[in-house]
A and B are shown apart, each in its own frame.
Chain A
């Protein structure tokens, strides 16, 4: 299983005892002040960026528990709970909107997409790393590049395909279409894993009496479980993120996913129920973030085409 943070090198401190006599000897006091100054800048920078990234989320979460009378009162200080915080909005989200349907749909689509992805990606990645010789690497990169073809280009003809298949306005349209981007990305990702498994184990299994397929099943796959897990996680995450196809292919609440449903459906008339909206967004954001965090290194190795080891 991938570890999360690569160990960082020791912090750089300016050379204090360097034998370079510039004429102006730095006293230990000045040197320490320099170091403290540098640390100060470091913390300031870290804080700035953390705030820059997270403030919208903080605001999101704060809003969730605000009562209407507090939120929509322009005279109130928006940064505190002038009226006591409440769970009503969260309850409303689950009871009075289609949110639960969205979540269920998202999960169904995700599970199906992950299954299709695995079935296509595992043999493909194996073939490209073991059986394709010199073409393997090039083809692998080629397949990865397919991932970069934008949905905004393909959604128009794909709408036609979806309609022809009778899947207009159905979550199964997404199940059919999503693998078109999860497969390219995950094939490349899994190739990275397979490349790191030494060849001789499969060859030994073939010598020991199994066909290649038997050898793969008994030796490669058990060892590649972390890789398979990574594929599952990223296929899942990519499914959760997708918006364009979902928006183009589904129009009724019963078939929408979270990504698509929340921005479009949780608005009644022209009225935005902001607290529930924020709850809808926040509930999804955190688990996905946690998953990404755990598998980040592999993700990066895949993205940089393996140039940087995860």
Chain B
């Protein structure tokens, strides 16, 4: 039954040269640099930000003296903050609603074959791949109060100028009129996040298994029927993920507003992120800046949780 008993060799706990072979040791060791970085440069600052928001830190007085929730109430009572809060939600959800519709259309278009498809695909991506600040600069010029080409086009179409629907001025003043300025920011956010949503949706579309489509064809379902009863329900999880990303990138963005209008005219395009920046960096009130930025957190956390759940469900389906 059993072999002859032989003297056992030295147990491994006393063999340090094999230490790095133990998964229990190697695993955490390999994770260490990344985790350290994250803890030091994300975790720690996060805690610090919360501390700041509960204190009276300014650029001048760097000591952290806790004062409770005073900053939050002060911030909340501020009119500009309320504007910023409203704008943040407006820009985010209006733009993403638009993106949802447009991305679906565009993804459908791109899932078909046609001449020049590669070129279109490349062009479609440009708004997303260009660094945000540079794209914003491009739009700054595009929406210039004197030289905007959009104005020029409207003028030639007879829609702008004296005695016209958009007149009487010869320019729309996109960035100087509050409503138009908000519309511009909204437009740019939509323009910028559309590519990402589209590409994610497109990938989801092509991932619909062929046999599902085949079965639908055999069952006699035409184009629209397939769309409504098959494709869209199957795409719902992916759509959710795409929209959630758009929400995150729009909700927390300060670059577009900062470069385009600095939050103007008169704080009418201010968003939480840009307001926090202006207060914190340019105003020097670190505590209030942190408090304002922290208002971003609940929505972000909610979005992240939603995204996790949807992604998990996509994977298991």
- A→B interface (CB under 8 Å): 5-12, 14-15, 18, 20, 39, 42-43, 45-46, 49-50, 52-54, 56-57, 59-60, 63, 71-72, 74, 77-79, 119-121, 123-124, 126-128, 131-132, 141, 143, 145-146, 148-161, 176-177, 179-180, 183-184, 187, 211-213, 237, 240-241, 243-244, 247-248, 258-260, 262-263, 272, 274, 277-278, 280-281, 284-285, 288-289, 291-293, 296-297, 300-301, 303-310
Given A53-B195, A180-B37: A263 touches B133 (CB 8 Å cut-off): yes
Return the 5 tightest CB-CB contacts between A and B, nearest first.
Answer: A131-B27, A150-B252, A123-B30, A157-B48, A124-B34
Q: How far is the CA of A117 from the CA of B120 in the complex (A)?
A: 33
Partner of B113, one of A11, A56, A145, A248: A11
Q: How far is the CA of A46 from the CA of B314 in the complex (A)?
A: 29
State the Cβ distance, B171 to closest chain A Cβ, in Å: 10
Q: Is the CB of B37 within 8 A of A148?
A: no
10 contacts between A and B (CB under 8 A): A5-B118, A46-B114, A56-B135, A56-B142, A59-B138, A151-B252, A156-B49, A157-B48, A303-B196, A308-B314
Further 19 A-B residue pairs, CB within 8 A, beyond A277-B137, A278-B137 = A8-B113, A56-B138, A57-B138, A63-B141, A78-B149, A124-B31, A127-B27, A146-B38, A152-B252, A152-B276, A152-B296, A153-B296, A156-B293, A157-B48, A180-B41, A259-B134, A272-B141, A289-B125, A308-B238
Partner of B139, one of A56, A126, A211, A305: A56
Partner of A308, one of B129, B204, B210: B204
Q: Is the CB of A179 within 8 A of B41?
A: yes
Count A/B pairs, Cβ under 8 Å.
Answer: 318
State the Cβ distance, A198 to closest chain B Cβ, in Å: 18
Given A177-B41, A258-B131: A300 touches B277 (CB 8 Å cut-off): no
In the assembled complex, which residues on chain B have CB atoms less than 8 Å from the CB atom of A176?
A: 41
Interface residue B111 (Cβ < 8 Å from any Cβ of A):
yes
In the assembled complex, which residues on chain A have CB atoms less than 8 Å from the CB atom of B34?
A: 120-121, 123-124, 143, 183, 187
Q: Is the CB of A303 within 8 A of B200?
A: yes
Q: Is the CB of B207 within 8 A of A308?
A: yes
Partner of A155, one of B142, B258, B277: B277
> B23-72: which residues lie under 8 A (CB-CB) from chain A?
23, 26-31, 33-35, 37-38, 41-42, 44-46, 48-49, 52, 62
